[in-house]
Amino acid sequence: MIHSLFLINCSGDIFLEKHWKSVVSQSVCDYFFEAQEKAADVENVPPVISTPHHYLISIYRDKLFFVSVIQTEVPPLFVIEFLHRVADTFQDYFGECSEAAIKDNVVIVYELLEEMLDNGFPLATESNILKELIKPPTILRSVVNSITGSSNVGDTLPTGQLSNIPWRRAGVKYTNNEAYFDVVEEIDAIIDKSGSTVFAEIQGVIDACIKLSGMPDLSLSFMNPRLLDDVSFHPCIRFKRWESERILSFIPPDGNFRLISYRVSSQNLVAIPVYVKHSISFKENSSCGRFDITIGPKQNMGKTIEGITVTVHMPKVVLNMNLTTTQGSYTFDPVTKVLTWDVGKITPQKLPSLKGLVNLQSGAPKPEENPSLNIQFKIQQLAISGLKVNRLDMYGEKYKPFKGVKYVTKAGKFQVRT
Amino acid sequence: MPYLGSEDVVKELKKALCNPHIQADRLRYRNVIQRVIRYMTQGLDMSGVFMEMVKASATVDIVQKKLVYLYMCTYAPLKPDLALLAINTLCKDCSDPNPMVRGLALRSMCSLRMPGVQEYIQQPILNGLRDKASYVRRVAVLGCAKMHNLHGDSEVDGALVNELYSLLRDQDPIVVVNCLRSLEEILKLEGGVVINKPIAHHLLNRMSKLDQWGQAEVLNFLLRYQPRSEEELFDILNLLDSFLKSSSPGVVMGATKLFLILAKKFPHVQTDVLVRVKGPLLAACSSESRELCFVALCHVRQILHSLPGHFSSHYKKFFCSYSEPHYIKLQKVEVLCELVNDENVQQVLEELRGYCTDVSADFAQSAIFAIGGIARTYTDQCVQILTELLGLRQEHITTVVVQTFRDLVWLCPQCTEAVCQALPGCEENIQDSEGKQALIWLLGVHGERIPNAPYVLEDFVENVKSETFPAVKMELLTALLRLFLSRPAECQDMLGRLLYYCIEEEKDMAVRDRGLFYYRLLLVGIDEVKRILCSPKSDPTLGLLEDPAERPVNSWASDFNTLVPVYGKAHWATISKCQGAERCGPELPKTSSFAASGPLIPEDNKEREQELPDSGALMLVPNRQLTADYFEKTWLSLKVAHQQVLPWRGEFHPDTLQMALQVVNIQTIAMSRAGTRPWKAYLSAQDDTGCLFLTELLLEPENSEMQISVKQNEARTETLNSFISVLETVIGTIEEIKS
């Protein structure tokens, strides 16, 4: 299925390759480089490239390309999902998925790839199972290893693979039994010039961290389950029970996992927690322009909005920007033309603003279009859709677990057109 | 790519690996080995230390073992003789008490990829298939496929295949999936693994136990299963229902495809399924992973081909955000174009208009083309937007807008007036060939409605010497001549100048010839020119042809969730053809004996014969079998229309001739047995007009010639001649084969 994998960095070096069947020469990547050259920007390299004898399916993650070579007809989503899983695993093991981290841990990377795929087919990809096969590197462990000479490879087979329930290992034991749920919602929105919503949608997930002994059987109910438009489930959830009673009933995997992901779409009204007042203008036939934006809270349900950052890709003709801000700090990179304003928290008494002059290349025509603003923010203890967990019950075990639910709302692709 | 200095490195590492002090210290030993691996992954040729690495494999340290095995798998094809030394250790490890070691050794052994290794791995694999640890069984099952590949795909080991089929009942889900994968590879030439009713039901029951990769693949394998009854079919669909809600998009798509294929006789079920996956698909379209997004969008387009209104209420999902990569934006614009309806057209056009001024010229141009596409249905609004765009006076925008206009007036003549009003002035902002051609064409065809058309064209004529594109000059010639017909007074002078230039000074032959042609045409007289050049100025019916008709779901269901929606079918066809050719290449000696006794008519000749009837404007109707009686009656009642003698030498096989004639739709009514002399045959054929050809073949070996007599029920020499030439070719070909 997946013949070979090449890891390529932004400057076009192939710094790692792995072949699961016969060796495919590096020259196959030339087609990829060709496409990269044509795309001008690294972001724009198409994910599927055809060559005379192969298909190259690639993903772009953290400034790295994972390029897989395919020789038979495959479901493309399957390969893309798998490549993302590989990247996730690296992230999980090394804390970051970067060229340096991969090069430092090249031996572990090979071990991982060997276990994740055999003969081109995915085998073990669950993080907790992999971690029992190959222990992740830690500073402490590498010190211990170097003293005792022990290895970071488990000597025993992962027990999870022998359990009746594939996602949970048998014989789990904890002294403190805890179950935590994080309800994380991201708002994707496009706001037009006048401040009205062109498009808005909430993408939500419930991530769980379950540390419970034995074989607990949990059921989680919501105050308002009808809110959820379109839900996809972790395989552990009993689907029939959800369909009939709108209750999530499941035997959880051990450790961290994503319980459900859901969507609350434009049919229901999506609250937009911030507004932006903006005036950006470039004068005809002069080499300067004005820039003025102010951010304020709106529909924030009484919670504080924090962690605000505004990113603006200014037009190419902008040379420099002279701005003053009432709050936070800003940077402008004259090479990439990206303006970043780190705002922080909004205090309703004094709204943060950023204004000043824009210097343009002299003689160049004035930009046709104003730039869009990309906004990041975070609201703690609030699920903007209004979703609330009602209760969590546990069956099958006798002890009393500690339970907790945390809510957080973030901006996803939140964009304001000016 | 060994770069300079790699020899020194190899030498140093070799020394270190041989050093008994280092060998005694486990940690240092392992570090040296790690260095070897690191260099190997950087592309240095490390095969020089193969011997030392083989020695290092005899250890209890599992990490060291892993590293050495990794090394061996990489270099074994280069050093097959030395690799054989390692096999002993590997075999020993295959019976280690630790299942991890057993699995590791078995996997490495199967991946050695060197000739001659098969005989050593067969026994360990068979043992592995019966191992009590599922980890080892998983490896062993895939090992079967690797072993089969090493054998060169030639023979299929029946016992092994049976063993694998029985392992489909294994209690470990990954072993089950691996069995399917392995069987699929081993039985590739026989069409892959067979999914019968018991296997299908077994797999269906195990589905929920599999991981997402397994589920996706099993769903794919289940496509081969054909349920016996309607009841069974709906049971299967019910069982798989929850997979449409899986958290993995791959599984969702796999399940959707299975639903579409299984329910191919129930269109309402198909529609229902597509409605249900709308949610997951839309979620994938706005997924964090841009690659997932892209593939999902491609599938959305595919669905829209059959259900045009399917995503219309979600059109806002397909609005582009500026930070998205181009390939996603382009797909989204295409999707927007396809889901426009009366309710959302205003918003969609508004949005597309915003894209037209995008920083990226490519994206801006595709947005303009998209508006042009929508203009076929909502002409007025779109033409207005396009006209406004001309006002921006941007080169890359103007050229595309003009091209869109050209295509539009051809399909929607009602907008001609508006387009003509918009055109003046845009010639200043067009520099590229495509744009100029479009503008000149418009000025030529609709020049009588554009007041300054002759003056714009005059500018082009003035600068024709510095014009770099021959296509523009050709277009200019035609346009000016057309305009001359409607506005002769203003154009006569410059037409003369242009023709003079083209005939006397132009170096491009095509342009020159076109100039000469028009010159001579003008000499014939103006009426003749009008008759030739003034064709219709629009053709709205073409729009119906261009509009993709709603295609039934079944026409693309089998392509769903493959690369086809992403890259089109044609490309896979060429890839698999290339691979086919490669595979056949080295095997030619084996197949040559088969080829000689194989097809009776060589491939190329067959083509020739099939072409011939067409070229002679003669269409013989297939399967026009006459009864012998009717043939006899007609034969006796007609006169011989044509008689001819062909040379014939050597042996004669009537069957060959009969088959060859069949190919060109000439039926044999009766013939003598082979070897009879003189040999006779009666043939009949009929063309599409109903004209009958009756033929008698008479072969006299003594004279080495064949006499052909043809009778025809309607006397038409033309068709007769072509029929005879067909007959000649067939007989000629047969003779060529023999000699």
Burial degree of B187 (CB within 10 A; 0-12, 13-18, 19+): middle
Q: Name, in order, each residue with C-beta under 8 angstroms of A143's C-beta and a sequence gap of 6 or more.
A: none
- Let me know if residue A167 belongs to a domain: no
Q: What is the pLDDT of residue B737?
A: 64
Q: Give the CATH number of the domain where residue A220 resides.
A: 2.60.40.1170
Flag if A110 and B41 touch (Cβ within 8 Å).
yes
Q: What is the pLDDT of residue A67?
A: 92
Domain boundary among B518, B538, B558: B538
The strand pairing partners of A112, in sequence order, are none
Contact B475, B467 (CB under 8 A): no
* Higher pLDDT pick, A169 / A104: A104
- Please state, in angstroms and rounded to a whole number, the distance separating the CA atoms of residues B148 and B186: 6
- Let me know if residue B350 belongs to a domain: no
Q: A288 at the B interface (CB within 8 A)?
A: no
- Let me know if residue B606 belongs to a domain: no
Q: Which of residues 54-73 of B touch A (CB under 8 A)?
A: 61-63, 66-67, 70
Residue B401 has pLDDT above 60, yes or no: yes
Chain A environment of B34 (Cβ under 8 Å): 107
Residues A346 and A410 placed together within one structural domain of the fold: no
Chain A environment of B250 (Cβ under 8 Å): 75, 77-78, 81
The pLDDT of A46-72, averaged and rounded, is: 88
What are the helix (H) ranges across B487-624?
488-504, 509-524, 526-533, 541-546, 553-557, 564-567, 569-597, 603-615
The pLDDT of A127-135, averaged and rounded, is: 75
pLDDT tens digits along B449-475: 888 888 888 888 888 888 888 899 999
For an interface test with A, which of B71, B288, B291 has the most A Cβ atoms less than 10 Å from its Cβ?
B291
Percent of chain B at pLDDT > 90 equals: 8
Q: Give the CATH number of the domain where residue A96 resides.
A: 3.30.450.60
- Let me know if residue A173 belongs to a domain: no
Residues A136 and A22 placed together within one structural domain of the fold: yes
- Please state, in angstroms and rounded to a whole number, the distance separating the CA atoms of residues B64 and B30: 6
For an interface test with A, which of B60, B575, B577 has the most A Cβ atoms less than 10 Å from its Cβ?
B575
Residues A133 and A227 placed together within one structural domain of the fold: no
The parent domain of residue B725 ranges over 620-737
Q: How confident is the model at residue B438 (pLDDT cuts 50, 70, 90)?
A: very high
- Let me know if residue B358 belongs to a domain: no
Residues A183 and A98 placed together within one structural domain of the fold: no
Residues A14 and A117 placed together within one structural domain of the fold: yes
Residues A17 and A124 placed together within one structural domain of the fold: yes
Residue A34 has pLDDT above 60, yes or no: yes
Chain B environment of A83 (Cβ under 8 Å): 291
Flag if A107 and B211 touch (Cβ within 8 Å).
no
Chain A environment of B192 (Cβ under 8 Å): none
pLDDT tens digits along A371-399: 888 999 999 998 888 888 998 999 888 88
- Let me know if residue A165 belongs to a domain: no
- Let me know if residue A163 belongs to a domain: no
Domain boundary among A105, A133, A148: A148
- Let me know if residue A154 belongs to a domain: no
Tell me what the pLDDT averaged over chain A comes to: 83
CA distances A356 to A320, A351, A382, B170, Å, are: 11, 16, 35, 71
Residues in chain A, total: 418
Q: Name, in order, each residue with C-beta under 8 angstroms of B62's C-beta and a sequence gap of 6 or more.
A: A151, A153, A155, B98, B100, B101, B104
Residues B534 and B624 placed together within one structural domain of the fold: no
Place of tokens 């949608």: A201
Residues in chain B, total: 739
pLDDT tens digits along A137-156: 765 455 555 555 445 555 45
Flag if A239 and B245 touch (Cβ within 8 Å).
yes
Can you state the percent helix, strand and coil of chain B, rounding each to 5? Answer: 70, 5, 25
* Least confident window among A12-16, A77-81, B352-356, B551-555: B551-555
Q: Name, in order, each residue with C-beta under 8 angstroms of A414's C-beta and a sequence gap of 6 or more.
A: A187, A188, A189, A374, A375, A376, A377
Residues A261 and A403 placed together within one structural domain of the fold: yes
Tell me which residue of A347, A318, A323, A352 sits closest to A335, measured CA to CA: A318
- Please state, in angstroms and rounded to a whole number, the distance separating the CA atoms of residues B99 and B121: 17
Tell me how many degrees the CA angle B515-B516-B522 measures, rounded to the nearest 5: 90
- Please state, in angstroms and rounded to a whole number, the distance separating the CA atoms of residues B461 and B474: 12
Chain A environment of B291 (Cβ under 8 Å): 47, 57-60, 80, 83-84
Domain boundary among B538, B569, B600: B538
Flag if B247 and A59 touch (Cβ within 8 Å).
no
DSSP letters, B282-312, are HHHHT-S-HHHHHHHHHHHHHHHHH-TTTTG
Flag if A76 and B113 touch (Cβ within 8 Å).
no
- Please state, in angstroms and rounded to a whole number, the distance separating the CA atoms of residues B559 and B219: 14
pLDDT tens digits along B178-220: 999 998 888 888 888 888 888 899 999 888 888 888 899 999 9
Residues A252 and A115 placed together within one structural domain of the fold: no
Residues A189 and A88 placed together within one structural domain of the fold: no
Contact B275, B313 (CB under 8 A): no
- Let me know if residue B357 belongs to a domain: no
Helices B361-375 and B379-390 sit at what angle, rounded to 10 degrees?
A: 150
Contact A101, A90 (CB under 8 A): yes
Q: Residue A104: how many CB atoms within 10 A of its CB?
A: 13
Chain A environment of B146 (Cβ under 8 Å): 119
Q: What is the pLDDT of residue A268?
A: 61
Query: How many folded domains does chain A comprise?
Result: 3
**pTM of the full structure:** 0.72
Q: Name, in order, each residue with C-beta under 8 angstroms of B242's C-beta and a sequence gap of 6 or more.
A: A239, A240
Q: What is the pLDDT of residue B739?
A: 52
Burial degree of A409 (CB within 10 A; 0-12, 13-18, 19+): buried
- Let me know if residue A157 belongs to a domain: no
* Higher pLDDT pick, B309 / B232: B232
- Please state, in angstroms and rounded to a whole number, the distance separating the CA atoms of residues B168 and B204: 12
Chain A environment of B316 (Cβ under 8 Å): 198-199, 266
Chain B environment of A6 (Cβ under 8 Å): none
Q: Which two tokens mark A143? A: 């010190």
Domain boundary among B506, B538, B570: B538
pLDDT tens digits along A290-322: 889 999 888 777 788 889 999 988 888 888 888
DSSP letters, A23-80, are PPPGGGHHHHHHHHHHHSSGGG--SEEE-SS-EEEEEEETTEEEEEEE-S---HHHHH
Query: How many folded domains does chain B comprise?
Result: 2
Burial degree of A411 (CB within 10 A; 0-12, 13-18, 19+): buried
- Please state, in angstroms and rounded to a whole number, the distance separating the CA atoms of residues B333 and A256: 39
Closest residue in A to B581 (Cα–Cα): A53
The pLDDT of B638-655, averaged and rounded, is: 75
Flag if B245 and A313 touch (Cβ within 8 Å).
no
- Let me know if residue B724 belongs to a domain: yes
Place of tokens 């994206």: B363
Tell me which residue of A63, A98, A57 sits closest to A80, measured CA to CA: A57
**ipTM, interface predicted TM-score of the complex:** 0.73
Q: Give the CATH number of the domain where residue B721 resides.
A: 3.30.310.10
Q: What is the pLDDT of residue A165?
A: 64
- Let me know if residue A164 belongs to a domain: no
Q: Which two tokens mark B398? A: 């103007």
- Let me know if residue B197 belongs to a domain: no
The parent domain of residue A218 ranges over 178-270+384-416
State the maximum Cα–Cα separation within chain B, in Å, rounded to a whole number: 109
- Rounded to a whole number of angstroms, the distance from the CA of B386 to the nearest CA of chain A is 16
Flag if B354 and A417 touch (Cβ within 8 Å).
yes
- Let me know if residue B731 belongs to a domain: yes
- Let me know if residue B408 belongs to a domain: no
User: Is beta strand A402-416 parallel, antiparallel or unpaired with respect to A178-191?
Assistant: parallel
Closest partner CB to A44 (pick from B142, B322, B327): B327
- Please state, in angstroms and rounded to a whole number, the distance separating the CA atoms of residues A243 and B238: 13
Closest partner CB to A199 (pick from B217, B319, B578): B319
Q: How confident is the model at residue A409 (pLDDT cuts 50, 70, 90)?
A: very high
DSSP state of A256: E
Contact B336, B324 (CB under 8 A): no
Place of tokens 């200095």: B5
Residues A131 and A217 placed together within one structural domain of the fold: no
DSSP state of B343: T
- Rounded to a whole number of angstroms, the distance from the CA of A298 to the nearest CA of chain B is 22
The helix or strand, by DSSP H or E, that contains position A192, with its residue range, turns out to be: none
Flag if B322 and A154 touch (Cβ within 8 Å).
no
- Rounded to a whole number of angstroms, the distance from the CA of B531 to the nearest CA of chain A is 47
Tell me which residue of A296, A242, A302, A301 sits closest to A274, measured CA to CA: A296
- Let me know if residue A158 belongs to a domain: no
Q: Which of residues 93-112 of A touch B (CB under 8 A)?
A: 106-107, 110-111
Residues B518 and B624 placed together within one structural domain of the fold: no
- Please state, in angstroms and rounded to a whole number, the distance separating the CA atoms of residues A111 and A133: 9
- Rounded to a whole number of angstroms, the distance from the CA of B316 to the nearest CA of chain A is 6
DSSP state of A272: -
Residues A31 and A138 placed together within one structural domain of the fold: yes
Residues A24 and A108 placed together within one structural domain of the fold: yes
Closest partner CB to A118 (pick from B27, B61, B107): B107
- Rounded to a whole number of angstroms, the distance from the CA of A383 to the nearest CA of chain B is 19
